[in-house]
Amino acid sequence: MQFLEHVPLAPYTTFKIGGPARWFAEAATEADILKAVEFARSRNLPLFPLGGGSNLLVADAGFPGLVLHIALKGIEQEKEIFTVSAGENWDCFVSHAVERDFAGIECLAGIPGTVGGTPIQNVGAYGQEVSETVVSVRALNLATLEFEEFANAACGFSYRRSIFNSTERGKYIVTRVTYALRESGQPKIAYADLKRHFQNSATPSLREVSDAVRTIRRSKGMYIVAGDPDCRSAGSFFKNPIVSAEQYVRIAAQEEIEVPHYMAADGAVKIPAAWLLERAGFHKGYALGEAGISTRHTLALVNRGAAKAADIFALRDRITAEVESRFGIRLDPEPVLVG
C-alpha cells in the first residue's frame, strides 16, 4: 500500500474541482483500511474516506490530511441477498442485479459513485431509496478500530440522511453493504417521469425500467457522459426543503400560482427546491463567472470549465440568500464539503 503526497483531488471528483490531498492512499482490503488509519493516527492527520467523488465539493486549498480512496471489490450472492464491497461502482451493481432479474434498485440506475456511498445519504431517485433494500452495513469504527454490522433500523435512514452523515458523521468507514432484492419482482413505476415514459406499455421489464431511468437522467444531464459539460456537477446541489404546514400556507398565500408540494412525515410539507430556485430567478443555464446552473436541470450547479470551489460557493451563496429572502427557507446543500 502506497502513501502518496500532494495528490490533486479534482480528477477524483465529478465536479472536477479541488486542491491536493496532503496524503493519498488506496485501500483494496479491510486490512489496508486499518493500515491507513494507523498511518493517519500516528501523524495526527484527519482522514477522509473517498468513494466515487460524486457528492463532494473539495476546497481549493485541498485537504490537509489523508484521503483514503475506498477500492474494495467483490459481489457475493446468496439467493436474494447480495453482499457488495464498498468500492464497487453502484451503477454496475444495478446492472448486475437487473441482468439477473432481481428487483429493488432498478430506479436507482445511473447514479454515479460507489456502493459504499449509497447508505451514507440514503441515495434515492425516481421513487426508490436504498433504505428499501439495505439489510445491513458493515463499517469500521474509527474510535475502537472494530468492524461493526449495522442492521437497517440502526442506520437511521430518512430523506438523504443516515447516521453516517448525521449523528455518527466521520466516525465510520463503510466496507460493504448487504441488500435484499426480489427475484423476478415487478419494477417500481411510481414516479411521474417513469409513468409517462411507460404509459403505452403494459408491463415493462426491470431492464426496460433501468434503461428508461438512464435515458431520462441523461436528458437532464444527471447521467455522467464524458465530455457533457452539464455533468461537471455533484448532482442536485440542494435538498428539497421540508417545511411546517403553517409555513407552506404562508408561502402559498404570497405566490400568485400554485406552489408544488408533497406531504412529508408528521404533517410537514416538502417543496421542490428546483421550483424555489426558478421562482427566485435562477433558471437553467444561469451563469455566475465559471460557476453555473446546468442547462438541463435547475438543481445541478455546474463547473462551466475552469471553476474553483470559491466560484461554486459564490453561486451557492447568491441562491441561498435570494431564496431565503423571498420564501424564508434556508436551503441545505446536498454535497459534502471537503477541506
Ligand X SMILES: Cc1cc2nc3c(=O)[nH]c(=O)nc-3n(C[C@H](O)[C@H](O)[C@H](O)COP(=O)(O)OP(=O)(O)OC[C@H]3O[C@@H](n4cnc5c(N)ncnc54)[C@H](O)[C@@H]3O)c2cc1C
Q: Whose Cβ is closer to ligand X: residue 124's or residue 204's?
A: 124
For CA atoms 324, 329, 332, 333, the dihedral sign is negative
Q: Which amino acid is at 85?
A: S
Q: Whose Cβ is closer to ligand X: residue 127's or residue 289's?
A: 127
Using rule CB under 6 A, residue 333 touches ligand X:
no
Q: Rounded to an integer, what distance in angstroms lies between the CA atom of residue 88 and that of residue 175?
A: 10
- C-beta of 256: minimal distance to ligand X in Å? 31
Quick one: which of 57, 173, 269, 288 contacts ligand X (CB under 6 A)?
173
- C-beta of 184: minimal distance to ligand X in Å? 26
- C-beta of 232: minimal distance to ligand X in Å? 9
Q: Whose Cβ is closer to ligand X: residue 195's or residue 250's?
A: 195
Helix (H, G, I), strand (E, B) or coil at 51: coil
In order, the DSSP letters of 194-250 are HHHHTTT-SS--HHHHHHHHHHHHHHTT-S--TT-GGGSB-S-SBPPPEE-HHHHHH
Number of residues in contact with ligand X, rule: CB under 6 A?
Answer: 33
Catalytic residue set: 160, 236, 334
Tell me 9's DSSP state: -
CA dist list (Å): 134 to 29, 81, 84, 104, 283: 22, 10, 11, 10, 36
Residue list 199-228, contact with ligand X (CB under 6 A): 222, 224
Quick one: which of 18, 112, 333, 339 contacts ligand X (CB under 6 A)?
112
Using rule CB under 6 A, residue 111 touches ligand X:
yes
Q: Whose Cβ is closer to ligand X: residue 40's or residue 111's?
A: 111
Residue list 25-64, contact with ligand X (CB under 6 A): 48-56
Q: Rounded to an integer, what distance in angstroms lies between the CA atom of residue 301 and that of residue 233?
A: 6
All three cell numbers of 308, joined, read: 474553483
- C-beta of 268: minimal distance to ligand X in Å? 20
Orientation of helix 90-99 relative to helix 206-219, angle to 10°: 150
Q: How many CA atoms lie within 13 A of 207 on its CB side?
A: 4
Q: Whose Cβ is closer to ligand X: residue 141's or residue 254's?
A: 141
Residue list 114-153, contact with ligand X (CB under 6 A): 114, 116-118, 120-121, 123-125
**Contacting positions for ligand X (CB under 6 A):** 14, 48-56, 70, 86, 111-114, 116-118, 120-121, 123-125, 173-174, 222, 224, 231, 233-235, 336
